[in-house]
Structure 1
Amino acid sequence: MIESSFASTPPLILVVDDEKTLRIILCRAMEKEGYRVVSVADGEEALAFCQQQQPEMILLDAMMPSMDGFTCCAKLQTLLGDDCPPVLMITALDDRGSVDLAFEVGATDYVTKPIHWAVLRQRVRRLLAERWAMIQLRQSLEKQRSLTKQLETVNQELQRLVNVDGLTGVANRRCFSDRLQIEWRRGVRSCSSLSLIMCDVDFFKAYNDTYGHQAGDFCLQQVAKVIEQNIRRPADLAARYGGEEFAVILPDTKLEGGMEVAKNIRTSIAALNIPHHGSQVSDIVTLSLGLATVIPSTKISHDTLISEADKALYQAKQSGRNRVIAKLIA
């Protein structure tokens, strides 16, 4: 049943006709079919009613004084746009021009006078069924759009999780590798310097042995936060390389600029004053840092930059830790 399609409330039909007798007959005929019915005597009243309450369908007389049905239908289309309910034009005119005009102004269908009631009944049912199907389609599309938006949000979050280290919140090793390759290719094209800092928390195993792994996790989180705070450009990237080791990619950065960032990181970590009585170089947490800078080239790979930064980090540890060693790759 069409009535059940419109939830628990039967469809509301607006009857617009200046002839009182026909208006009453139309209302009774529609009520007999189980519809709710409201009637008005002219186009102005119809427009006013639709601004207050929208019917599921309009039975509109074509020939009325003051405002005819064609004008009323056109104004309904302008007023309600895509939300305009189906308009079934009732007309004594059956010439081609009148029929064409009815559809041009937005009528969905028409019946001619004298009304064939069986035909009217079936056309009303068909138009209501089509309207219900359209409502369902719009709701389905809206739901689909909503689900698509939710899916995009979930995918973005998943992508973020894939690229973020779960403990520290900075980029993970995978993200680091992907970004370094991107920046390497960019450096090859632009012939601009690319700097890489590799840094390691000094005597971190001893820190865990002294304070416990929970404290060690918190220490790494603080270190990661400080490293991120010392890189400010959107293209720069701080990443957890593994364990207590972190990496910083600095595109379009010469050795001097990379050295400044590395020193700032080391100083900022010391300023945290995190106690570390298991350290052999200080009574607070410190970092050893290795910096390597190169102008990327097709003759070498980005692995060379990682290797040289690692060597610089190793030298920093070998020469006493809590310091920065830099290498310029020719």
Structure 2
Amino acid sequence: MFIDEYVSAVLPIRGKILLVDDQVVNIKILHQLLNDDYDIHMARDGVQAIDMCKKIQPDIILLDIEMPTLSGFDVCERLKADPLTQDVVIIFVTGHFDEEKEVKGFQLGAVDFIHKPINPVITKARIKNQFTLKCQSDLLRKIALLDGLTGVANRRKFEESYPQSWLYCVRAKQPISIIMLDIDYFKRYNDHYGHSQGDTCLRSVAQAISSRVNRPYDLVARFGGEEFICVLPDTDYDGALFVTQQIVDSIIALKIPHQGSDVMAFVTISAGLASVNPSQDMDLQTLVETADKQLYRAKENGRNRVEAINMDSIL
């Protein structure tokens, strides 16, 4: 069920195409040809193209080769060297058939060439084929980063995205918070109710956590077993503490019976929170380790509670 819902959610209705050409007439021709099927964005030079690519994350770039300052080859090389833009599909548009240039373009990471003057049928077909292939590739990759049981991200997704969130906060001089969560006495729950009911419990808890951590750039991931982790970029200690307490309260509100718990008759969760304003010389794993220590304290101090620390106060 969760896979089907996820597939429906991630498949784009319309693709995004970035047209890059220093000649306005060429942009107008391609815009008129593709506007009915795609969301079109435009750039007049290579520098603008790189900036826009980072901001809008297009599915495909139609990139002119011959441009002043930065050629299409220069733009392609820079985009493919940046982790934020390396997956974008690049199709070169050129007015000349030059086998050496095509070889170079493919070596730099382009997927196809379109030749001027533009043939509408060939151009639309090639773009449609590449967009379909990209959608399939994106979908497979996203499914690979999904926890199939709970519908939230898996640990691999956390390990991929957390460093990016950390670097963003370092550069933007914004705080970042990590929440570690563990369902209380879950082994007892499984022993008493069975693993099938345990799976249902995990799904319900994951949905409750996701309902409280739901900004587009936040992350909820299953960290392992009955443990979850949340990454909250651009979130200070007070804001993260509020969210964490909401999560703990939302699990109680589910009122999932748990006869094996020493806390109460329902499923509960313990939480450890750590927040910091990160800097270049800090190890990003320190924040995770600190949140994990706070989770351990929450368990030691009676469970069904939040233990939290603002690392800025101790650094």
TM bin, normalised by shorter chain, reads 0.5 to 0.7
Cα RMSD, aligned residues only: 1.8
CA distance in 2, matches of 1:196, 1:315: 15
Q: Which of 274, 280, 294 is matched with 1:312 structurally?
A: 294
Shift of 1:150: 2.8
| 1:175 is aligned to 2:157 | yes
Residues 243-298 of structure 1: CA distance to partner in whole angstroms, max 9, x if unpaired? 10001111111111111000000111100000011111111000000000011112
CA distance in 2, matches of 1:139, 1:251: 45
- Provide structure 1 residue ranges, at least 5 long, that are not aligned to the other structure: 1-136
Q: Which residue of 2 aligns with 1:253?
A: 235
Q: Which of 267, 283, 291 is matched with 2:273 structurally?
A: 291
Which has the greater radius of gyration?
1
SS at match of 2:223: strand
CA distance in 2, matches of 1:294, 1:178: 20
Letter in 2 for 1:295: N
SS at match of 2:182: strand
Shift of 1:159: 1.6
Shift of 1:145: 4.8
Select between 166-175 and 139-148 the one with higher mean Cα deviation. Answer: 139-148
Residues 128-184 of structure 1: CA distance to partner in whole angstroms, max 9, x if unpaired? xxxxxxxxx998877655543332221121121122111111111111122210111
Write out the 4+ residue segments of structure 1 that deviate beyond 2 Å after TM superposition. Answer: 137-150
CA distance in 1, matches of 2:151, 2:271: 20
Which structure 2 residues correspond to residues 13-92 of structure 1 after superposition, within 5 A?
none
Q: Which of 162, 185, 191 is matched with 1:203 structurally?
A: 185
Letter in 2 for 1:291: L
Report the TM-score, using the length of structure 1 for normalisation: 0.56
Q: Which of 130, 149, 152 is matched with 2:131 structurally?
A: 149
SS at match of 1:195: strand
SS at match of 1:238: strand
- Provide structure 2 residue ranges, at least 5 long, that are not aligned to the other structure: 1-118
Q: Which of 209, 218, 222 is matched with 1:236 structurally?
A: 218
Letter in 1 for 2:152: V
Letter in 1 for 2:240: G
Q: Which residue of 2 aligns with 1:160?
A: 142
Residues 83-102 of structure 1: CA distance to partner in whole angstroms, max 9, x if unpaired? xxxxxxxxxxxxxxxxxxxx
Q: Which of 222, 225, 248 is matched with 2:207 structurally?
A: 225
Structure-2 change in CA distance of 1:146 and 1:267 (3 Å): same
SS at match of 2:205: helix
CA distance in 2, matches of 1:286, 1:215: 16
Q: Which residue of 2 aligns with 1:328?
A: 310
Which structure 2 residues correspond to residues 268-283 of structure 1 after superposition, within 5 A?
268-283=250-265
Which structure 2 residues correspond to residues 98-109 of structure 1 after superposition, within 5 A?
none
Q: State the number of aligned residues.
A: 194
Report the TM-score, using the length of structure 2 for normalisation: 0.59
SS at match of 2:275: strand
Shift of 1:227: 0.6
CA distance in 1, matches of 2:185, 2:131: 47
Structure-2 change in CA distance of 1:189 and 1:276 (3 Å): same
CA distance in 2, matches of 1:298, 1:139: 51
